[in-house]
Structure 1
Amino acid sequence: MKNSLTFTPLFLAIAATIAPLAHAAGSNPSDGFVEGSHLNLNARNYYMNRDRRDLHTDDSKEWGQGFIGTFESGYTQGAVGFGLDAHAMLGLKLDGGGGTDGSSILPYGSGSGKAPGSFSTAGGTLKMRAFDTELKAGDLFLNNPVIAGGMTRMLPQTFRGVSLTNHSLDGWMFEGGQASFTKLYNQSGHRRIGTSYGALANDAGSQHMNWAGVSFSGIDGLSSNLYASELKDVWQQYYYDLDYTYALNEMISLNPGLHYYHTQDTGQSLLGAIDNNTYSLHFTVNAGHHSVTAAYQRVIGNTPFDYIAQGDSVYLDNSQQYSDFNGPNERSWKLKYAYNFGGLGLPGLTSAVSYISGKTDLSQVDPQSRGYSAWYSADGKDAKHWERDIDVKYVVQGGKAKDLAVRLQWAVNRGSNGYSAVDRDVDEYRVIVDYPINVF
C-alpha cells in the first residue's frame, strides 16, 4: 500500500529538529549588510566534443564562453538579520558545431537544430538569520546528496524555493527545504523538476521536491550524512554516508567510505513502480603525493538509480565523467590513480586516471516501464560496459592570474547490447578554463 503521508516518520523527525535548535545558542554578531557583502565573477570558457560512435553521426562539438556573477550581502544588525543575494549569468556561443545534438553546453536548438548565439538568466534570494539559523527564499544554489545543482557545464543549475540551515551544535549541520522549479545549466527559463533517467509525462516534472538532512563532522577525520527527500508523486529517497580518514603517519593515510541510497515510488507513481537500493564502497590509500582508490558499486532493483535532472546529486563512487554505472541490477568496479605534481616541484598541477567496468542482467527490466523502458532492452542478459577517464588540472598559484584554472578531461565509454545507443560507444573531450575574480 502506498504511503499517503507527505513524508515518512524519519523525514519528519529530522525536519522537526531544525527549528528548535535555532534557540540552542546565542546571537552571532553581524558584519552588517554592506560591510559583509561580497561580489564574485567567474569567466568560464568551455569546449566539449562528444563523439557517439555507435550512432555514426558527426561529432557534437560545442564551445562557449560563460560569465557568472554572484553577489552576497551581509546581514543587518540585530538579533534577527536580513540580507539579499543575487546572481546573473550569460552564455555566449563561440561554436555551435552545426547543432547541439545533446552535448548540453548550449541550449537545444529549435527547427534548425542550431543553438542561439547567447542565453542568460538572473535571480535573487531574500535571506534571514536568527541565532545560528539561516532561512533563504528565492533562487538557490543547492548542494546536498538528494538535490544538488549541476556544476559540470558552462553555467550552473539553480533551484527556486526555500531552504533552512542550522549550525547551533558544534560539528553538526541541519538543513531542510522545498524547491518547485529549476533552471537547467543550458537553459534560460525555469521548469518543473524532472529526473535524469525517467521520462515524466509531457516532460512536466514534479510539482515540488522536499528534503531534510543532518551532517556530522565533529570527530577528526570522520564525516557522515543522513538525508530524506520526496519528489512529489514520483519517489521518496533516503541517503546515508560514512567516510573516515586514518593517518598512519605523516606520509600515509587510509580512507574507507560508504554511500547508500534507497528510492521507492510514492503518490501517483509517475515513473511507475520503484524499489531501488544502491550503494558504493571505496578504499583509498594516500601516500605522499600519490593516491590509489578501489571502489565497488551495486544497484539492487529493476530500475536504474535515478536523480534530479542535470543535477549532481549522485553521490556514488562510480559516477564518472560520462556514465554513472547506475543501470538496473548493475555491479561495477573502479580503480583510480591520482598524482599531485607538487611532489615534482609543480604545485597546482594534479592528475587522475580511472578505469571502471560494469555488468548487469537487463532481461529483468520491465519493457513496459513508464519511466525507464527507453534506456534498456530485454536482450541484454549479459550486458557490459566500461569507461576510461583521464583528468588533468592546473591552477595558477600566484601573480595577476592567481586561481585561474585549466582542466582537460577525456572519457572513453564502450557498452554492449542492452544499453541504449547514447550509453554505449562514446568518446568525449572537455577543455575548461575558469578565471574567478573577487571584485570585493
Structure 2
Amino acid sequence: MNPICSISLRFLPLAIAGAIPGLTNAADGGFIDGSTATLNARNYYFSRDFSDIVGPNQQSRAEEWAQGFILNFKSGYTEGPVGFGVDAIGLLGIKLDSGRGRVNSGLLPLQEDGEAADDYSRLGLTGKVRISKTELKLGELQPNLPVLAFSDIRLLPPSYQGLSVTSNEIAGLTLQAGHLNSTSLRNESGDDKMLAMLGHLPQRGAVSDAFNYTGGDYAFNAARSTASVWYGQLEDIYNQRFLGLKHSQSLGAWTLGANLGYYDAQEDGERLLGDIDNQALFALLSVKHGGHTLYLGYQAMYGDSAFPRVFANITPLGNEVPTYEFASADERSWQVRYDYDFSAIGVPGLVAGVRYIRGDNVDAQATNRGGSRFDGKDFERDLDIGYVVQSGTLKGLGVRMRNVVARSNYRSDIDENRLIFNYSWNLL
C-alpha cells in the first residue's frame, strides 16, 4: 500500500473519534449537518482518428464508450477550536464498447492482452483538520493549481495521494502548500509514481517520488482582480515558477476580462530528463455583452524545451485545449474564440462555442527530442455545444458535444468527436 494512503487510513479513526463530540451538535452544524454527498453519472463516448498515421504497427484511431460513476462525500467539521472531518471519493468505470486497435482513449485501462478492462474502480479517503481558517488534508487529494491543474477531462477524474494545507486567515489571500508522493491516473485504479510531459510527449524514461508546491492567490479591487504567485517541483525532474494576474471590469452592459500569466521552468535535482529550459508567456483577453463572449489569446514559448507538466495533466495556459497544447519549444500561437449563451434569447441551459488556434515557429527537433530540424506549424478548430435540461423528469441532465479538427506538420493530425452525458444526485 502507498505510504501516504497507509498513513491516511491510520489517521481516519482518529478523525472519526474526534468527530464524536460534534455529532451531538447537529443543530449548530458540525460533522453531520455540515456533510454533503453527491453521485454523478457520466456517460462518455470518445473517438479520435489519427488520420496521418500509417503502417501495420501503429494505431490509427482510439474509439471507446464507457459509463462512469463518481461518488463524493464531504463531512462537516466537529465543533470546537479544532475541527475534524473525513472526505471520501468512490469511482467506478464500466466498459460499454471498445476493441483491440481502438484502445488508449483515456477512458479505460489497457490490459496486457491489448484489450480494455471491463471495469475499474477506486476508493479514496481523506482525513482533514481545521483550525480557524486553515485546513490540513491527508490522503486522497484533487488539487487545482496553476502548477498542477485539476484535469477532469475523461470518464473519471485523476487524484493524488499526499498532504495539503490551505489557509485563508488574511482576507482576500489564499495560501496553499502540499507534498504529493503518488498519483492515480484518470483511467487507472491503482497508485503510481509521477511522470513528466514536455509539450505533448510523456517522458516515460524517468519517474519522480514527489511533487511539492507552494503558492498563493490574492483577490483585491473588490475581488475583480487576482494576483497569483506559485512554485511547483517534480523532484529530480523539473521545478517551475508562475506569476499570474486576472481582472474583470464592468463597463455598463459590457464586461472586459484579462488572464495574464508567465511560467519559468528548469531541471531539478538529479536531472533525470537532462536539461530543461522553458519560459511561457500567455495573455487571454475577453469581452462579454449579453449572451456573446469573444476571446483573443496570444501564447509564446521561450528557451530550449517544450512546456513541462505532470503527466497527464492539462495546464492553465491560455491557448491550451484538450487536443493540442500549443506549448512546443519556441512555439508562438494565436487564439480567437466565440461563445454564446442562449439564455439571452430565452433558451436557458443551451450554450455553444467555436474556437480557432494557430501556432508556428516550433523547434520540431527540440520538441521531439531528436529528428530533423525544421519549423513546425499546427492549428486546431473546436466546435462545442451543451445543454442542461431545465425542467421535467430529466431536469439537471447535461449533454455536451465536441468536434475537433487539428492539423500539424510535426505531430499526428487528429479528428475528434466527444459526446458526454452528465447527471448528478444530491444524496445529502
TM-score of the alignment, normalized to the shorter chain, above 0.5: yes
Q: Which residue of 1 aligns with 2:341?
A: 340
Query: Which residue of 366, 379, 382 corresponds with 1:386?
Result: 379
Q: Which residue of 215, 230, 233 maps to 1:230? A: 233
Shift in Å, 1:331: 0.3
Q: Which residue of 1 aligns with 2:41?
A: 43
Q: Which residue number in structure 2 is paired with residue 242 of structure 1? A: 245
Q: Which residue identity is paired with 1:235?
A: Y
Which residue matches 1:3? none
| Distance apart, 1:149 and its partner CA | 3.3
Unaligned 5+ segments in structure 1 are 1-28, 366-371
SS in 1 for 2:125: strand
SS at 1:169's partner residue?
Answer: coil
> For each residue in 1:229-273, what CA deviation from the matched residue of structure 2 results, as whole angstroms up to 9, or x when unmatched?
111101111111111111110x21211221211111111111111
The 2-side partners of 1:226 and 1:58 are apart by: 41
Output the TM-score relative to the length of structure 2: 0.89
CA-to-aligned-CA distance 1:146-200 (integer Å, 9 cap, x gap): 1233200000000000000011111111110100000000011010111233655
Alignment of 1:11-410 (within 5 A): 31-56=29-54, 58-111=60-113, 113-197=114-198, 200=203, 202=205, 205-220=207-222, 221-249=224-252, 251-312=253-314, 314-362=315-363, 365=366, 373=368, 377-379=371-373, 381-410=374-403
Separation in 1, partners of 2:30, 2:372? 61
Taking the aligned partners of 2:271 and 2:95, their CA distance within structure 1 comes to 39
Q: Distance in 1 between matches of 2:281 and 2:213?
A: 20
Cα distance in structure 1, aligned partners of 2:360 and 2:72? 43
Contact 1:209–1:232 (Cα < 8 Å) also in 2? yes
Q: Is the 8 A contact 1:93 1:116 kept in 2?
A: yes
After TM superposition, give the deviation of residue 201 of structure 1 in Å. Answer: 5.8
The residue that corresponds to 1:413 in the other structure is: 406
Distance in 1, matches of 2:29 and 2:101, equals 49
Residue 361 of structure 1: how far off its partner (Å): 4.0
Aligned residues of 1:254 and 1:286 also touching (Cα < 8 A): yes
CA contact (8 A) 1:362 1:378 kept: no
Kept after mapping to 2: 8 A contact 1:243/1:256: yes
CA–CA distance in structure 1, aligned partners of residues 278 and 270 of structure 2? 17
Q: Secondary structure at the match of 1:196?
A: strand
What displacement does 1:404 show?
1.8
SS in 1 for 2:404: strand
* Structure 1 position 434 matched with structure 2 position 422: yes
Change (3 A) 1:255 1:201: closer
Compute the RMSD of aligned alpha carbons.
1.7
Cα deviation code 1:361-400 (max 9, x no counterpart): 42662xxxxxx645x6333x22111000011111123344
CA contact 1:281–1:317 (8 Å) conserved in 2? yes
What letter is aligned with 1:226? V
List runs of 5+ in structure 2 lacking aligned partners: 1-26
- Cα distance between partner residues in 2 of 1:394 and 1:281: 29
Measure, in 1, the Cα distance between the counterparts of 2:283 and 2:94. 40
In structure 1, give the amino acid aligned to 2:337: K
Could you list the per-position Cα deviations for residues 285-321 of structure 1 after superposition, in whole angstroms to 9, with x for gaps in the alignment? Answer: 1111111111110000221102111223x11111013
Q: Report how many residues are paired.
A: 395
Task: Report the AA paired with residue 439 of structure 1.
Answer: L
Partner of 2:9: none
Q: Determine what percentage of the aligned residue pairs are the same residue.
A: 36
CA contact (8 A) 1:393 1:407 kept: yes
Distance 2:49 2:208 in 1: 32
Name the stretch that deviates more: 232-241 or 102-111.
102-111
Inter-partner Cα distance in structure 1 for 2:347 and 2:83? 45
